[in-house]
Structure 1
Amino acid sequence: MKLQTISYYAPKNNRIGREILIFLLFATIFFPVNAQNTEVKEPLPLIDVLTQIETKFSYQFTYADDTIKDIFVSAVPKDVSFDQVLDFLRKETGLKFTVVNDTFIAINKGNQSFFICGFIKELNKEQALSGVTIRGKKTSTISNEKGYFELEVFDRKEIVIISHLGFRTISRIISSFVGDTCTPIYLTPKTEILAEVILKNYLTKGINKTDDGAFQIDYDEFGILPGLIEADVLQTIQALPGIQSADETVSNINIRGGTHDQNLILWDGIKMYQSGHFFGLISIFNPSITRKATVIKNGTDVEYADGISGTILMNTDTRINSDFKSTIGVNLINADIFADIPVGKKSSVQVSARKAINEFLETPTYEQYFDRISQDSEIGDNNETDIGFDFYDINLRWNWKISEKDFVRINFLGISNELVFTENATINSVNTSRQSSLNQNSIAGGIWYQRNWNDKFTTTLQVYETDYTLKSENADLQNQQRFLQENIVSETGVKLNTRYVLKDHITWLNGYQLMETGVSNLNDIDNPVFRRNRVRVIRNHSVFSQIGYKGRNIRNSVNVGIRYSFNEKFNTHIIEPRFSYNQKFLNYFNFEILGEFKHQNTSQIINFQNDFLGIEKRRWVLANDEDIPVIKGKQVSAGLQYNRKGWLISSEGYHKIVEGITARSQGFQNQYEFVTAIGEYTVTGVDFLVNKRFRNLSSWLGYSYANNQYTFEAFEENRFPNNIDITHSFNLGVAYTIKDLKVSAGLNWHSGLPTTRPEFQNEVSNNEINYNPANSSRLPEYMRLDISATYDFELTKKLKCHAGISVWNFSDRNNTISNYYRIDQDNQPKEIVNSSLGITPNATFRVSF
């Protein structure tokens, strides 16, 4: 029994105060608080219980002393018959009670088994723990999703071992389980310094902010956001201040003014070079298998490389589930299936697959998506085509608890986008037909192994391989030419982490990482014959170390670390410090300071003229330390949060500098479209949020200001606005939940993107467009209204359903997301405009069992 000391203050000469004090002291003494187990009566020695029974009934027990030695039972129920007493003792002890004659009962050791049960919960949280291993001498089992278990045992002296990854292992003697009572058993988390949640339900349920500045998204607890009916990670994070997509795609997410290739995207620790289906309109990461996500805008842990603008971590379920679960769903774009399959008692496999449904049904949603991606492409320019499009993804995750100290996870991910179209034309009175195609694929796999050597020391080892391929074959009927393009990325990674708890509030992280990245770019033309294939490989070694401290009352936390990298290709050494600090004060305020230095060896170049049929315009390249340098970034930010009585007010200012960018990676479509130059950009901004939470309703207003400026010494304008400079951005939303119904609506507005227009009355000279200074004009402002609703219900106890409907751009506003100019047949500049999605409905229905 755990005693709890409580201090009280009683005013002098206050009779009522003294009486309250006496009452509280009395309650503390006679009703002590137990933070771990529900109070139960102490079990009694069996020999004492037998004596009581002999006194009450006219029977005597005969037995050998060692038969009942060290056996304890609970008190015998009152007002029961002698036969019921014997049944009670048989269940309690597992012994044989044989009636010899009318007055004697013989007690012998029994060979029959009996069952114990309980509910496993996490200490201080009352949260059920599933997948906990309960092991006896001859048998073992695991707890289910409610934390419940039953275990067959044979001896009341037997010891039961209860263990779970991330928690302290405990031992209990069988006799401590009282009768048929299934009492709670509490496990204590192992002492590890992990990120502590400081702001819960940020915007909506399931989005939390931690003391290291990161945002964590728990999709098991996720609420609803405007325009979303499924838990798409790359769509969800765009609701956070400072994160936008300049062209509405998930393959162009801009975190604090950075380009998409400057984001580190990890799926269960595996680096991904592809992020979108439908060439950017849908995330490749299946919502059914992605359970948690973390978004880091600054203050990244030293164990993560790359991603100078931001880090997006996605994780599958780490629990070993004991029950088979399955989900089948369909929306107006794709159908998917998910299964969680137990494999024995120590492992489980999750499998999910998703495929486009346009082969069977072309919905209004599909038509809107296809019109969006085919703008300004060879498909959109050619009406005499037969088009076929398909995408799918396959996910596999296997969790295996080898022993109490060893845990293994194996992942596999396969992704495919395929576009095929046949162009028909009549050339010299001959009907001609040729096929063009575009394929985008990713295959990734990895093994992750964790060893808990003891309560203070843990190691993790991960090995992964990720391969990305983008390939197009463009058939030009008029010129009788075939143009083949291919971009391949192949990366192998190895990372070893060690985590040691120096003291209860201090942890020490150390590690080593090896990354070997190869990138090839192929251009192959058959008429005239031309072939160029560039292949580069970089091998990078890194070691890192970080100290983490949390105050005893969790009022402050500090992470300070450093990462050292050696590039074999360039023989260069890079040292990068990282820092995060959070301080809670006056109970309702949190102050944070974050800072980091980062670099990356990969980036994307953009060619708007002919790359991959004009649909996918980005290809990956490796730094060569010449015209493509290693990109380096540094950032510092400071923030203040207030959280009280449902009000959340958050403000964060930042300053970021990124050096080593190339002009070809920025997507210029003006006078600098074909210029090769190296420059940098600087962003100074503020992210602000006001969130008011009621019992069933959450409303928010987010605002971001950013001053994002290029510096290119080789350009006529040395300093000018970034191509994705969104100076002002507002996000207004509301989410309402009542029982199983969730409804949300939101308005997104931001100032127009920079653009470059031709000089007035001097537009063209020498067959070239005369442009005004770069990015000296702006596109019209962007505004979009989204709504969504979901409803959960049960058909039976085991058959659950989820239905949802959403409308993207409910007002059907025509938003211009980009423009550029080309000279037409009249030698005049012609403006080509790309627009956002129009009104786009979607609906989903999902069945779980």
Structure 2
Amino acid sequence: MKYKLAISLLFVTFFGLSQEKATVNYSNTALNTVFADLESKFNIKFSYNSEITNDQFINLDIEDATLLEILFAIEAQVNIRFKKESERYYIVKKIKKRSLTDTQHLQQVYIKEYLTTGISKENDDTSVSLSPERLGILPGLTEPDVLQSIQLLPGVQSPTETASGLFIRGGTPDQNLVLWDGIKMYYSGHFFGTISALNPYITEEVKLYKNGTKARYGNRISGVVDITSDNEIPKKVEGGAGFNMTHADAYLKVPVGEKTAVMVSARRSFTDIIDTKTFRNLSKRVFQETKISEGNKVFEDDEVTTTKDLFYFTDFTVKAIAKPNENNTILISNLFTKNKLDYGFLIEEYGEASRDQLDIKNQGSSIKWNHNYNKAFSQSVSAYYSNFDLEYIGSNSITDEFNDRLDKQNRIDDLGLEFDTNWHVNKATTLGFGYQFASNKVKYALGFQDSEEPESNFNESNLETNNSHVVYADYKFKKSNKWMLNVGLRANHFSVLNELFVEPRFQIETKLFNNLKFKVSGESLHQSVSQVVEFNTQEFGLENQIWVLSDGKGIPVLESMQFTSGFVFNKNGWHIDVEGYYKKIKGLTSFTLGFDNIDDFFSKGRSKVLGMDVLLKKKIQDYRTWLSYSLMDNDFTFSNINNGNAFSGNADITHHFTWSHTYEWENVDVSLGWNIRTGIPYTEAKGLKDTPDGTVIDFEETNAARLPNYHRLDISTTYKFNMSKRDTWKGKIGVSILNVYNQKNILSRKYEKRQSNTDNGQVLREINKTSVGLTPNLVFRVEF
């Protein structure tokens, strides 16, 4: 019965309704003439500024094509974007001109709709582009969460069921480069990663790289998530506001004359004021088996009273846009995100009181100037400042006995400059050059005060600065409709090690047949700042990882090499994308991974990842279905763990399968998705054993056991409506349900020693963290 709803959709896949088609043949035809012809053929109307069509010409020859297919083909040729307002009316907006270090369009095999509307594949670039403004409905989401949306792509997984916990092709979340308007993000989640800390309603584009990254991206060895907020100056005041069952938000875009604009946005949780079913379910998953949920119990039947219970998150942005003329654009962006937790409890029987205070901030600013010297040569100059600040204070006391306190701080100050140029040498050749400077100041401090045993007190701190100088170059060659070659070279000098690291990158694509394309890419990457496990606050159970700089010894520079090859097939609404890859990572340590059963506290190692990503999609009129499958073998090798033999990586998900469906009917959108994957490895415990140093847990081989398979069904639906006669005010309501059949998935398994209730001995306790249960959510939005 659990899978009946999902399986029944197999039959829906092969049926659809008819849709009007037309044949068009444009040869160097003016864009405004094309619009007039399409309005006549499809009985629609375009709304646009006449400046958009100036000096814009279209070459297009398509037989029996739908309106959507034609519009996508036009978008591939000119820098415009269509937004469907109703069945008859479309708004046309101009988008920013792209450069070599960003994205170039490859018209003949351009895949505009990759999964659903708003998710596209740039085929002269390895990235996938996501536009929240145009994003179609996705399973379990009523709002376009920036980071959760890309988890439907093969090769992107979140074993922890979080938005920010992105594991891309065997990499860990700290190995991903996350940028917002050029500002580096060191903490991109709210509510301990449950939702993205980046507001989707002022986001213009999200670009995801799983491989083949441009040379301008660096100092991370896994994926790249490059987020750009809206860069257009609106003709009139635009805005919106809404809420769901965890938070509320609002945004406003205000033109200041014809050449400047200001954009502001804000979000805040209201869960410290209103308790909702959605928040309770999410809290149960986040806080389970932590000090907050357990209340620091010694025995299972201890009675705990909550004395302090405060949690909230917030974020806001301010952006200024200035376009004094068509050749110059100035952008100033500011971002602030915050998560605050203050929790206290009391066990009256023992007079034990405890309090935990956690404050996490990520803020930053950037300024960018884009200048076009002519149609062939352009430049951009930018600067950014990013600050990450984590502060934790934990106290524990028993009246007239002891009063302990633990303090932790982790702070990053990141300042950077970039100069980038782009030169179209001729029709086939493009060159890009750039220079980057970044200064990373990373601080870590830990202090402990023991009132009973002052000799146990300690204060540890570390402050390191790494200044990096980078030069990079990109070369692109495209010959007719057959070949495309991207070659990049990046050279990094890290002052903390006084070493130079060279990173070659390449990408080749060739059109074998009209509907079949072959692709191959390779890259070398290095990373000097990463997260390690910090065991002193392990009892707290949350945020026990800290950012540190590589020192070449205890924390080596991470190195990665990846090679990818595959095929893309497109025909008659079918899209098949297959990629195989091999990835090798050096510089891993037991500090970064946190194994349970190691005798030696510190160990260095490496990993090898061999995998394949497959995407199969079919579109029938307004119905879409896609199957996403990832096969991965991720092995770790450490010299003094598992006798030096390879073992499964901590997040080695051998098989990961998603099956998603969306259907659009007038103003109603419905989406359903089923997610099933192999359980992650864990180290099983045999029991307890006595040693000269006391009782310890006796473990089996490292990561030799696996958790049960994971599976979950999500559903969502939204309804859009007009709130005014002139369509100036619009509304949306939506409902989503996570884990429809309430499957109890185990996300992780660990063990601990616990005091026995019957004697003075100890017993072994199995700790299972489970997935979110059946969780409904509701959204309501208004925009104008």
- TM-score between both structures, scaled by the size of structure 2: 0.84
Give yes or no for the alignment of 1:802 onto 2:764.
no
Per-residue displacement from partner, 1:226-270 (whole Å, max 9, x unpaired)? 111111121011000011001111232100011101101011121
3-state SS of 1:233 partner: coil
Aligned to 1:471: 391
SS at 2:762 equivalent: coil
Q: 1:404 corresponds to which residue? A: 326
Partner residue of 2:567? Answer: 640
Question: Any idea what the Cα deviations from partners look like across 1:807-829, whole Å, max 9, x if unmatched?
Answer: 11111111100011112234332
Confirm or deny: 8 A CA contact 1:130 1:319 kept in the other structure: no
In structure 2, the partner of 1:388 is: 310
1:162-241 aligned within 5 A:
166=97, 194-196=104-106, 198-211=110-123, 212-241=125-154
Is the CA contact 1:129–1:147 (under 8 Å) kept in the aligned structure 2? no
1:169-219 deviations in Å (ceiling 9; x for gaps): xxxxxxxxxxxxxxxxxxxx9999714373232221121112222111122
1:682 Cα deviation from its structure 2 partner: 0.6
The aligned counterpart of 2:766 is 831
How do 1:408-447 and structure 2 match up within 5 A?
408-426=330-348, 435-447=355-367
Structure 2 counterpart of 1:261: 174
- Shift of the alpha carbon at 1:759? 3.0
Equivalent residues in 2 for 1:262-301 (5 A)? 262-301=175-214
Work out whether 1:340 is the aligned partner of 2:253. yes
Deviates more, 1:677-686 or 1:614-623: 614-623
CA contact (8 A) 1:451 1:459 kept: yes
Residue in structure 2 matching 1:607, options 534, 548, 558: 534
Q: Structure 2 counterpart of 1:693, which letter? A: K
Are 1:35 and 2:35 counterparts? no
Q: CA deviation at 1:612?
A: 8.4
Partner SS, residue 759 of structure 1:
strand
- 2:286 aligned counterpart, secondary structure: helix
Q: Which runs of 5+ in 1 are unaligned?
A: 1-27, 40-116, 132-144, 149-162, 168-188
8 Å Cα contact 2:574/2:617 also seen in 1: yes
Q: Which residue of 1 aligns with 2:226?
A: 313
Q: Distance in 1 between matches of 2:352 and 2:625?
A: 59
1:278-332 deviation line (CA, Å, top 9, x unaligned) = 0110100011111211110111000111221111111111211121011010000
Work out whether 1:812 is the aligned partner of 2:734: no
| Per-residue deviation, residues 55-105 of structure 1 (Å, max 9, x unmatched) | xxxxxxxxxxxxxxxxxxxxxxxxxxxxxxxxxxxxxxxxxxxxxxxxxxx
Find the counterpart in structure 1 of residue 605 from structure 2: 679
State the match for 1:369 in structure 2: 282
Q: How many angstroms apart in 1 are the aligned matches of 2:762 and 2:383?
A: 57
Q: 1:731 is matched with which residue? A: 658
Alpha-carbon distance in structure 2 between the residues aligned to 1:834 and 1:467: 32
User: Matched residues in 2 for 1:164 and 1:244: separation?
Assistant: 31
Instruction: State whether residues 165 and 405 of structure 1, in contact with CA within 8 Å, keep that contact through their aligned partners in structure 2.
Output: no
Name the CA distance, whole Å, in 1 between partners of 2:313 and 2:340. Answer: 6
Deviation of 1:376 (Å): 2.1
Instruction: Tell me which residue corresponds to 2:264.
Output: 351
Q: Match for 1:713: what amino acid?
A: S
Q: Within 5 Å, give how 1:488-499 maps onto structure 2.
A: 488-499=411-422
2:588 paired residue among 657, 661, 666? 661
Deviations 1:596-647 (A, max 9, x none): 1000111111235625832212211110111000101010000101110011
Give the distance between the partners of 1:730 and 1:628, measured in 2 at CA: 35
- Is 1:702 aligned to 2:628, yes or no? yes
Q: Are the equivalent residues in 2 in contact too, given 1:119–1:146 (CA < 8 A)? A: no
Say whether the 8 Å CA contact 2:101–2:216 is kept in structure 1. no
Q: How many residues align?
A: 692
2:64 matched to which residue of 1? none
Question: 2: CA distance between counterparts of 1:663 and 1:33?
Answer: 61
- Cα distance in 2 for residues equivalent to 1:678 and 1:324: 56
* Structure 2 contact 100–432 (Cα < 8 Å) conserved: no
CA RMSD of aligned residues (A): 2.6
Residue in 2 aligned with 1:302? 215
Query: Residue type of the partner of 2:768?
Result: V
Separation (CA, whole Å) in 2 of partners of 1:411 and 1:165: 16
Q: Equivalent residues in 2 for 1:463-612 (5 A)? A: 463-478=383-398, 479-527=402-450, 528=454, 529-553=457-481, 555-607=482-534, 610-611=537-538
Which whole-Å CA distance do the structure 2 matches of 1:198 and 1:166 have between them?
17
Q: Name the structure 1 match of 2:777.
A: 842
Cα gap change, 1:432 to 1:611, in 2 (>3 Å)? closer
Is the 1:337–1:354 Cα contact (8 Å) retained in structure 2? yes
Q: Deviation at 1:404?
A: 3.0
Distance 1:601 1:679 in 2: 16
Q: For 2:377, which of 457, 472, 475 is the aligned residue?
A: 457
Q: For residues 404-426 of structure 1, what are the alpha-carbon distances to aligned partners after superposition, in whole Å with 9 as ceiling and x for unaligned?
A: 32211000000010011123344
Q: 1:490-546 CA distances to partner (integer Å, 9 max, x unpaired)?
A: 100111101111102211010001111011111122333422111111111010011
Contact 2:365 2:386 in 1 (8 A): yes
Q: Which residue does the alignment assign to 1:769?
A: 697
Summarize the Cα distance change of 1:32–1:308 in structure 2 as closer, same or farther, 3 Å threshold. Answer: closer
Structure with larger RCO (C-alpha < 8 A, sep 6+):
2
- Give the aligned residue type for 1:691: K
How far apart, in 2, do the equivalents of 1:543 and 1:36 lie? 40
2:281 touches 2:775 (CA, 8 Å); kept in 1? yes
**Do the aligned partners of residues 295 and 627 (structure 1) sit closer, same or farther apart at CA in structure 2, a change above 3 Å counting?**
same
Contact 1:397 1:410 in 2 (8 A): yes
The one-letter code sitting in structure 1 at the alignment partner of 2:728 is: K
Alpha-carbon distance in structure 2 between the residues aligned to 1:32 and 1:235? 41
Secondary structure at the aligned position of 2:110 is classed as: strand
Asked if the contact 2:96–2:231 (Cα under 8 Å) also holds between the matched residues in 1, the reply is: no
* C-alpha distance in 2 between matches for 1:257 and 1:215: 18
Provide the secondary structure at the position in 2 that maps to 1:402.
strand
Distance change (3 Å), C-alpha of 1:192 and 1:438? closer
Report if the CA contact (8 A) 2:29-2:57 is conserved: no
What SS does structure 1 have at the residue aligned with 2:601? coil
- Greater Rg over alpha carbons, structure: 1
* Per-residue Cα deviation, 1:414-444 (whole angstroms, up to 9, x for no partner): 001001112334487xx67664311111111
Between 1:209-218 and 1:334-343, the stretch displaced more is: 209-218
Alignment check: 8 A CA contact 1:649 1:691 kept: yes
Letter in 1 for 2:472: F
Counterpart residue number, 2:3: none
Give the direction of change, closer, same or farther, for the CA distance of 1:432–1:392 in structure 2 (3 Å limit).
Answer: same
Q: Which amino acid aligns with 1:519?
A: V
Q: How far has the Cα of 1:373 moved from its partner? A: 1.5
Q: Secondary structure at the match of 1:726?
A: coil
What are structure 2's unaligned runs of at least 5 residues? 1-24, 35-48, 59-70, 82-89, 296-303, 756-760
1:53-132 equivalent positions in 2, closer than 5 A: 118=50, 120-121=52-53, 122-124=56-58
Q: Is the 8 A contact 2:353 2:396 kept in 1?
A: no
Deviation at 1:360, TM superposition (A): 2.9
- In 1, Cα distance between equivalents of 2:114 and 2:246: 29
Q: Which amino acid aligns with 1:833?
A: N
SS where residue 613 of structure 1 aligns? coil
Aligned to 2:8: none
Are the equivalent residues in 1 in contact too, given 2:204–2:231 (CA < 8 A)? no
Residue of structure 1 in register with 2:21 after alignment: none
Counterpart-to-counterpart distance in 1, 2:684 and 2:690 = 12
Structure 1 length-normalised TM: 0.78
Percent identity between the two aligned chains: 33
Secondary structure (helix, strand or coil) at the match of 1:237 reads helix
